[in-house]
Amino acid sequence: MSTKASTQTKTSKMISDFRNFWSEPWFAILTLVLAGAILLFIVVPVFAVLFKSFGIGSGEVTLEYYQNFFARSYYFESLVNSVSAAILSTLIVVFLSVCISLYVTRTTSFLSKFYRGAALLPLVAPPFIFSLSLIILFGRNGLFTQVMNSAFGWEFSIYGFSGVVIAQVLGYFPIGYMLVESTMRNMNPSLEHASSDLGAKQGRTLRKITLPLSQSGIVKAGLLVFVMALADFSNPLIIGGGEPFLASEAYLLVVGQQNLEQAAVLGVFLIVPSLLVFIFQTYFLKDTGLETISGESGASNVPLSPKVKAIVMTINTIFVSFIVLMFVMVVLGAFVRIIGIDNTFTLEHFTNRSGWDSLYISIVVSFLAAILAATIGMLQGYLFARKTIPGKKVLEFLTLFGLAVPGTVMGIGYVLIFNGPPFFLTGTVLLIVLNMTFRKIGVGLEASISKMHQIDTSMEEASSDLGAGPYRTFGKVVVPLLSPAFVAGFVYTFMTAMVSISSVIFLIAPGTNLAAVYILNLAEQARVGMASAMSFILILIVLSCMGLLKWIEKKTGVNI
């Protein structure tokens, strides 16, 4: 009886949901178009890779390529390398994040601003820049290598596993650090005060109170860094010294041997961990609410004891100096003829015609992708936050999933799908734009949804109460209120698109070379001067984007 009744209410609920959905037909159509696009540009490519790995589409269903994977130690080694490098990088990033966060959130000196600034510096750089500066310093002709060689006859090479790990630590550090810092900053300071009031020394307070309560942030940071490091494509290619890693090996299989099936298998091994982490984060790592049982009236964090301070400062200073050194190297490399060999000042690296061409294309493509991603994010955010949409949860999941899919997998998927009818887009700029857009729309969506939750529905109700229809309300009330989310989505997508590589590298054609890919090629060939010069320009562009964002924030008084 009761189950029958509940099915009945369920059915009638569904019917009324559908009625609501169609009551504003334009929004409904828009939703359907969005859903279609998300399926085509996020979901289908991933499934294409999965199917391809079983040989579907190019012959009969087979496990041959998986057998190959485990039989050919070379492929399997790429899994071992990728996973162990990612684990190592993650542990190091988390440890250093805790050290710097401790100092930054618990002291107010000039040094804490310096640490923070330097720790976030890698954000403005293309992700492979550290490989480049590591080569400048420790490569075969590296500055440090030469000194060591002539002084002690000590020969060593940064190429290989250790180089990849160092480059990953530096490149992915800010992402992990920001998460750890924010949990450690938002912790209720009276908990630490209470611990010291109860007689605990700082070491115990750290172990028993601070770290356990920062757990969720630390775990989140670790998972994020792990997934990114696992999918790392450019560092292994530049500094891996021929050691196989999943993403770079998949790329070489596609480009060098046209072996899409085998590449797809590697792609599956890339995507499974990312998917697991994504699901874990979405469904299991909800905020425990431990940190903030209740607010506190203006008390500040417990200052660090001299002992802890000394330890943390030593570690921080070494690490942060290393980051700064990396940037200095790139700048030097850009402005001297051949760094370490011929150190005369020159601007010749900046006069590279094809470099500027690729930069121009990068800017155009990134701009288009950013506009598209921000617009979609805004529309989708509004629809998702305010409208009854059947299957909304699934769509939201899939959109955010786009962020979690490793670029290499997405790239291979695009190659598989758009290389023939019905969507023959390979080699076009449009495909590159779409790829950049749909990999990043999750960011705009999240920004818009959180903004929408801050906006009281009464504003839209007031608008319709005053006689405006739903579309006018959207245009005149919602869009202006969402503009900060739009700007955030735009700037973020533009900055990441400018330096993105792992996915678009599959999609470029002669004449549509992108700056990031171009630099990667230069770095692979150890053409350090030109690579540094181009990286330097990219850094300047990203920096000016951030400056622009700050300027807009200041001008409008809106926090973006």
Q: From its phi and psi, is residue 224 left (phi > 0), alpha (psi between -120 and 50) or beta?
A: alpha
The continuous run of DSSP H or E covering 344 comes out as: strand 342-345
Residue for token pair 């307070």: 205
From the list 188, 180, 252, the residue with the least C-alpha distance to 218 is: 180
Asked whether the beta carbons of 238 and 524 are under 8 A apart, the reply is: yes
Nearer to another protein, 242 or 306 (CB): 306
Amino acid (one-letter) located at 71 = A
The half-sphere exposure of 442 on its side-chain side, counting CA atoms within 13 A, is 18
Pairwise CA distance, residues 24 & 61, whole Å: 45
Nearer to another protein, 10 or 201 (CB): 201
**Least distance from another protein to the Cβ atom of residue 193, Å:** 6
**Least distance from another protein to the Cβ atom of residue 233, Å:** 39
Nearer to another protein, 202 or 352 (CB): 202
**Least distance from another protein to the Cβ atom of residue 188, Å:** 7
Nearer to another protein, 303 or 469 (CB): 303
Nearer to another protein, 296 or 553 (CB): 296
Q: What angle do CA 321, 218, 232 make, to 5 degrees?
A: 65
Torsion 13-15-16-21 (CA) sign: positive
Q: Concatenated DSSP letters for 264-320?
A: HHHHHHHHHHHHHHHHIIIII------TTSS--SSPPPPPPPHHHHHHHHHHHHHHH
Nearer to another protein, 197 or 465 (CB): 197
Instruction: Kindly give the residue spans of alpha helices, DSSP state H, lying in 187-285.
Output: 189-197, 202-205, 211-230, 234-239, 246-257, 260-279
Nearer to another protein, 150 or 297 (CB): 297
**Least distance from another protein to the Cβ atom of residue 91, Å:** 23
Nearer to another protein, 195 or 500 (CB): 195
Nearer to another protein, 42 or 213 (CB): 213
The helix/strand/coil state of 40 is: helix
Residue 336: φ, ψ to 5° = -120, 160
**Least distance from another protein to the Cβ atom of residue 293, Å:** 5
Torsion 110-111-117-120 (CA) sign: negative
**Least distance from another protein to the Cβ atom of residue 207, Å:** 12
Asked whether the beta carbons of 337 and 344 are under 8 A apart, the reply is: yes
Pairwise CA distance, residues 479 & 35, whole Å: 21
**Least distance from another protein to the Cβ atom of residue 183, Å:** 13
Nearer to another protein, 302 or 405 (CB): 302
Instruction: Please count the other Cβ atoms lying within 10 Å of the Cβ belonging to residue 437.
Output: 25
Task: Catalog residues that contact another protein under the rule CB under 8 A.
Answer: 188, 190-191, 193-201, 204, 208-209, 212-213, 289-291, 293-297, 299, 305
Amino acid (one-letter) located at 302 = V
Pairwise CA distance, residues 193 & 300, whole Å: 9
